[in-house]
Amino acid sequence: MTTIHFNTSIPPMDDIRVREAVIHALNREPFLDVYEKNSVGPVFSPVPVKFLPGGLTQKEVLQLGLDYKEDLKKAKALLSEAGYPNGFHLDLVGSEKRIYRNFYRILKEQLARISINCTIKNLAHAAMHKTIRKNPRAIVIYSA
pLDDT tens digits along 43-56: 777 777 777 777 88
Neighbours of 111 (CB within 10 A): 22
pLDDT confidence of residue 144? 74
Q: Break the chain into its structural domains and give their ranges.
A: 2-143
User: Is this structure's pTM higher than 0.95?
Assistant: no
With contact defined as beta carbons under 8 Å apart, do 22 and 6 qualify? yes
Per-residue tens of pLDDT for the chain, all 144 residues = 788 999 999 999 999 999 999 999 999 888 888 877 777 777 777 777 777 777 888 898 899 988 889 999 999 999 999 999 999 999 999 999 999 999 999 999 999 999 999 999 999 999 999 999 999 999 999 987
pLDDT confidence of residue 122? 97
Neighbours of 37 (CB within 10 A): 8
Residue 63, exposed/middle/buried by CB under 10 A (0-12, 13-18, 19+)?
exposed
With contact defined as beta carbons under 8 Å apart, do 17 and 78 qualify? yes
pLDDT confidence of residue 139? 97
Side-chain half-sphere of 1: how many Cα atoms within 13 Å?
Answer: 13
**2-143 topology per CATH:** Dipeptide-binding Protein; domain 3 (3.10.105)
